[in-house]
Chain A
Amino acid sequence: MPTFRAETRAWLEENCPQAMRTFMPENEQVAGGKRAQYVRPEQKQWLDRMAAKGWTAPTWPKQYGGGGLSSEESLILEEEMQDLGCRLPLRGMGLSMLGPVLLEYGTEEQRQTHIPPIIKGEIRWCQGYSEPEAGSDLASLRTRAVLQGEHFLVNGHKIWTSNAHHSDWIFCLVRTDPTAKKHEGISFLLIDMADPGVRPNPIRLISGASVFCETFIENVRVPAGNLVGPLNKGWTIAKRLLEHERKGIGGIAARNAAKFEISVEVAAKHYAGEHEGKIADPILRDHVAAYSMDAHAFQLTRRRAAEEAESGAPPGPLSAMFKLQGTELNKRRYELLLESEGFQGLGWEGEGFTKDELRFTREWLRSKANSIEGGTSEVQLNIIAKRVLGLPD
């Protein structure tokens, strides 16, 4: 392991461009795809170098272009990247959600077709789950797919499809048996968005951004080979994918605490002043300490779960709380930042505010979605009560 760490460090130092060792603003995150736009050339260079090593997907099998690393090696890679301040070369729903599900449930042909382009950042994926009438009650979805010979004919209306207008393909939950019980008539289908019958419309959000779309699907013919898993058994896959999604969202707090992010105590000292090394406002200081201690204890819990997994113990109940706790902590963090900043945290745009202040305002609003997307906090509490505590329905 020490050798792997040293080699990894040396490779990163040689291959990670200096411009990619800086704070990454939201508009410089790389998600790939056919219509990818790069603000700086180093972004593409960094992506290509990491993808060539398979390190955009460090633990995926080498045969599909992944890094083939053990989870311990992957953790070392992550630690060394964090230490050098390396940006994540690529992120997106292909990497965080679809890939792991295809590796588990996909056919060999589906893996060979779809996984390499995800690793290289050539194809960008989005998620067709929620519908206007199917939010927390996801299994009541109504988008229809009717098998007609070699094709499904798909019609429906998806919503909260993040970045659908920048994506190339969409993985969808569709109803293939309207007569079955609601969880039993659902299938998991991959749809090429090049079809003109797939129309994403961006929705303007409270943060001013438009990452979410509503996506209309009208008379789209999808090859039957794009069905993942058995017909009408899509709910199992859907739930597994949600586990991957929740892991990603729950990790937000961890990522934000990384190298370049301002800590709440620094912000509190800056805006509220300092007295003998302490945050001058004792009430704000108490709030900062309460938050920081909860965040610290949560990090320790993530580490404990990782150590338990590493020791070969069966996955315990801890992971059930990560999405809930991680997102609630992230929201608290932004609330505290704003509480510290006072008037300076309330700017929308223009003069009178620093770039960071304006960014925090938008991120504060964005953070409110954390406890809604991927299963609300209330849904997470239901899951813990049912699966972990065994409380009756």
Chain B
Amino acid sequence: MPLILSDEARMVRESALDFFRERSPITGLRKLRDDNDPDGFSRDLWRQMADLGWTGFLVPEDDGGSAFGMTGLAQVMEAAGRTLAATPLLSTALLGATLLSLGGTDDQKAEYLPRLLAGEHIFALALEEGARHAPNQIAVKATRDGTGYRLTGQKTFVLDGHIADTLIVAARTESGITLFLVPGEAATRTRLTMVDSRNAALIRLDNVAVGPDAVLGRPDLLDIALDRARAALAAEMLGSANEAFDRTIQYLKDRKQFGVAIGSFQSLKHRAAQMFCEVEITRSAVLAAVDALDQNANDAAALVSLAKAKSNETLYLCSNEGVQMHGGIGMTDEHEIGFFMKRSRVAQASFGDTRFCRDRYAQLMGY
């Protein structure tokens, strides 16, 4: 199992780091928030990301993508996490691309994939219904209506839900949970204003009629897509944790009190060293998880649970220690360190908090 990057992945990493640093720094997120931007992300930047090929990393070459894989996409996610960039990477380049590539019919692929790849069509997975990530607790109903279905119910915390051109709705049919492609405007959508200033929405489906061609894919598809989402989000969180850590170390060297740099105090040094260990251990778990997904390894689900759990813990640690070690300035809106703490809480809850991941890991390991 390679836990070091190939030359190709390293190149993607470098160009992604440059891209976000130069074109999408944290000031970008702040501006989206302060302008109350209706989209919550920059369409222009998204098209630039599509031009770099990032929307096609999980799409096979026959369908117009590069099939570069999860390890490559994780490099982009990590770089995006460094600057807390608000993008549809997770909703569209990961979830949309995965569900359509693996589960779409030829017609569905032909209709949606070219526009997805070009950065011109946004997807959103409408999954959650309760206060926590619970992929099996689905009450939204899809009832037969002629050859098609009618969908009724409510979804919450739908990432990029209010701007999605197409919603992918998980609904309960007589045979279990089925995914449906639903035009965004067919639903009643309420944007949720989240603490991290990123996109989420409440979605109401009121007897929405869809044709038989709206059914997407096999039943196990959702599990695969969710594991990819967990791993990609873990990579993003690793980037955010590493950035919060780097900024805090720099602050410990710059900030002087009692006539010396506060980084000379042992109480802070030891906590800084602990953070270093956690960031590096988390990096190993993330690399192992995305590689296992690329290889379809048997232990992929366990490694993904491990990676998400470690990222949850480590971003929580680094963002909270970041605020504490910055002292009073860390409590101000003007300083950027607080953005990491806000993002941490939302990312922790997305696609499985630590309790969820631990329970799943134990289950997979047979205890």
Contact = CB atoms under 8 A, between A and B. Distances in A.
Q: Which label, helix, strand, loop or mixed, suits the secondary structure of the A interface?
A: helix
A300 B261 CA distance: 35
Interface of B: 1-4, 249, 252-253, 260-261, 263-264, 266, 268-270, 272-274, 276-277, 280-285, 287-288, 306, 309-310, 355, 358-359, 361-363, 365-367
Given A289-B367, A297-B281, 13 more contacts: A278-B367, A289-B362, A290-B358, A293-B358, A300-B287, A303-B3, A307-B3, A313-B4, A321-B281, A381-B269, A391-B253, A392-B260, A392-B264
Interface stretch (A45-53, A101-109, A251-259, A382-390): A382-390
Interface of A: 265, 268-269, 277-279, 285-286, 288-290, 292-294, 296-298, 300-301, 303-304, 307-308, 311, 313, 317-318, 321, 324-325, 378, 380-382, 384-386, 388-393
Contacts of A277: 366-367
A313 B253 CA distance: 28
A393 B264 contact: yes
A191 to B, nearest CB: 36
A384 B276 contact: yes
A304 B287 contact: yes
B263 A301 contact: no
Given A285-B367, A311-B4, A385-B273, A298 B281 contact: yes
Q: Which 10 A-B pairs rank lowest in CB-CB distance, beginning with the nearest?
A: A385-B269, A384-B273, A304-B3, A300-B284, A301-B284, A391-B263, A289-B362, A265-B367, A381-B273, A381-B270
A279 B363 CA distance: 10
Nearest to B249: A389
B18 to A, nearest CB: 22
A382 B276 contact: no
A289 B356 CA distance: 11
B306 A288 contact: no
A324 B362 contact: no
Given A296-B306, A304-B284, A389 B276 contact: yes
B367 A388 contact: no
A285 to B, nearest CB: 6
A285 B249 CA distance: 36
Given A389-B276, A391-B249, A392-B261, A297 B285 contact: yes
B288 to A, nearest CB: 5
B205 to A, nearest CB: 35
A265 B365 CA distance: 9
A390 B362 CA distance: 38
A303 B4 CA distance: 10
B284 A269 contact: no
B128 to A, nearest CB: 23
Given A277-B367, A293-B309, A296-B306, A318 B2 contact: no
Given A269-B367, A385-B270, A288 B362 contact: yes
Pick from B270, B277, B288 the residue with the most CB of A within 10 Å.
Answer: B277
Contacts of A386: 269
A392 B252 CA distance: 9
Nearest to B355: A286
Given A307-B4, A391-B272, A288 B367 contact: yes
A296 B306 CA distance: 8
